[in-house]
Amino acid sequence: MTGNYDSSDDQSDQKTAYTVSAVADYLKATLESDARLADLTVVGEVSGYRNPSSRHHYFALRDEQSVIRCVMFRSGRGGQFLADGSQVICHGRISIYTARGDLQFYVNQIEPDGVGALQQAYEEMRKRLESEGLFELDRKREIPETPSRIAVITSPTGAVIQDIINVLSRRYPLAEIILIPTAVQGERAAPEIVQAFAALNAIDGVDVAIVARGGGSLEDLWAFNEEIVARAIFASNVPVISAIGHETDTTIADFVADRRAPTPSAAAEIVAPDIHDLGAYVSRFTSQIDEIINRNIHDSRSQFEMAIDRMNLRIPDTQLPRQRVDDLLKRARLTGQRLVESSRERLETVEAALNALGPAKILGRGYTITRLADGSAATSAKQLSTDDKLRVTFTDGSVETTVDEVDL
């Protein structure tokens, strides 16, 4: 042992004295050299649990007779199972915290005391949330057949996201994939998953979401059994497909989700139709539309022809009336011609009569026209007086004369 102290005042019975640090270092080295203490599993009840801002975990394990101080740094696994009064199984190593001389159990992994205890917590959570209606089938939403934007909530690294992207790209490359990264294991997983769903609700235009994680133990999948995660899925604005673990794994998230997929790849197949099947469907649909249009055209033509036939049966033959009209028109034209000819003949007769009675004809027969000085016709001897000037018109000319005597 190093760090000894030699006192010069005590020469008779000299003994070696060691510093505190030397003793602490010796105990530390001794404990850590013991293979059994370097790889130790301890079961006990948690008490005095603290989780400060450093995110390290400080607690004690106890049973009916003893207490061991424990610490698990934030890199450890299973911190979500720590709570005062919980029974846990801790794995780690025994050593000395030399600054205080405390014997401590340095834990690197924690799990509940047996699967039975964890399963009991799972069942209690499931029954309570079921009684609140979070699993009701009536509230589950339909998954859209042809989504435009698909959100994926999972770890940004690992095989899960690659499997989902590969399936979606192969089956339905038309969709946009939106990755919302989150931890899927450990004590940070549940709060980050809740934050991921909050981010999902803030994104416009997302049609459906997949929350996914690969296989693991019940402890590894425990974040998806947390109440805050279940309520985040329940409050999602879009339908959610859960794909947690393997087909045999069932989490609380699976009960709350609108649909459960046995694996992440299966979730991608559920959410994305096969583009080749869509092409075949469109072709069949187009053929059906063409057939319907052709059938409607044929039916309409048949109905039109039947309507024409019915009209022909109801309307009498128009050939005879048309011939009668033609005959009447012909007769009218002939009658009109005869009337014109008759009128022309009558006009010619009247014209001849008028001509025969005209002054020229009368004068031609030896008659004359006598006019007074004022131009008026003298039709009686009583109109005349001696010395009146007269104009006498013959058929070929006129002369002026004076009245010498009037005989009445």
pLDDT band at residue 385 under the 50/70/90 scheme? confident
Beta bridge partners, 212, equal 243
Q: Is the pLDDT of residue 340 over 80?
A: no
| pLDDT tens, residue by residue, 388-408 | 888 888 777 888 888 888 787
- Whole-prediction pTM value? 0.50
Beta carbons within 8 Å of 43's beta carbon, 6+ residues apart: 61, 87, 88, 89, 90, 113
Say whether pLDDT at 258 is over 60: yes
| Predicted local distance difference test score (pLDDT) of residue 191 | 95
Domain extent listing, the chain = 4-112, 119-135+145-273, 360-402
Token pair of 122, please?
């799972």
Asked whether the predicted pLDDT for residue 95 surpasses 80, the reply is: yes
Strand 389-394 to strand 369-371: parallel, antiparallel, or no bridges (unpaired)? antiparallel
C-alpha distances out from residue 11 to 3, 7, 15, 328, Å: 20, 8, 9, 170
Mean pLDDT for the stretch of residues 12-41: 86
Least confident range of 20-34, 122-136, 299-313, 380-394: 299-313
pLDDT-derived band at 139 (thresholds 50, 70, 90) equals very high
Mean pLDDT of 110-136: 84
Summarised one tens digit per residue, pLDDT across range 274-319 is 877 666 656 666 667 767 777 777 676 677 667 666 766 665 555 5
Instruction: Please give the CATH topology (third level) of the domain spanning 119-135+145-273.
Output: Rossmann fold (3.40.50)
pLDDT tops 90 at residue 135: yes
The answer to whether the 4-112 and 119-135+145-273 domains have the same CATH topology is: no
**4-112 CATH fold:** OB fold (Dihydrolipoamide Acetyltransferase, E2P) (2.40.50)
Going by their DSSP bridges, the two strands 208-213 and 67-72 should be labelled as unpaired
Torsion 197-227-139-144 (CA) sign: positive
Among the residue ranges 71-80, 116-125, 153-162, 219-228, the one predicted with the least confidence is 116-125
* Residue-wise pLDDT tens digits, 185-222: 988 899 999 999 999 999 999 999 999 999 887 778 88
Residue 261's pLDDT band, with cuts at 50, 70 and 90, is very high
Task: Please state the rounded mean pLDDT for residues 100-109.
Answer: 92
**If you average pLDDT over each of 77-81, 159-163, 310-314, 316-320, which comes out highest?**
159-163
How much is the pLDDT for 117? Answer: 66
Band (pLDDT 50/70/90 cuts) for residue 71 is very high
Collapsing DSSP to helix, strand or coil, 172 comes out as: coil
Q: Residue 39's pLDDT is what?
A: 92
For residues 382 and 28, what is the distance between their CA atoms, to the nearest angstrom? 187
Residues 6+ apart with CB under 8 A from 165: 177
Distance CA 15, CA 105 (A): 33
Q: 402 has which bridge partners? A: 389
pLDDT, average across residues 156-177: 91
Q: Which of 2-11, 32-41, 175-184, 356-365 comes out lowest in average pLDDT? A: 2-11
Structure confidence at residue 158 as a pLDDT band (50, 70, 90): confident
For position 266, what pLDDT does the model report? 93
Least reliable range by pLDDT among 15-19, 113-117, 247-251: 113-117
- How many Å separate Cα 239 from the centre of its chain? 14
* CA–CA gap between residue 20 and residue 98 (Å, rounded): 9
Q: Compute the average pLDDT of residues 339-358.
A: 65
Q: Given this model, what pLDDT does residue 315 score?
A: 58
Q: What is the pLDDT of residue 58?
A: 95
Question: For residues 19 and 25, what is the distance between their CA atoms, to the nearest angstrom?
Answer: 10
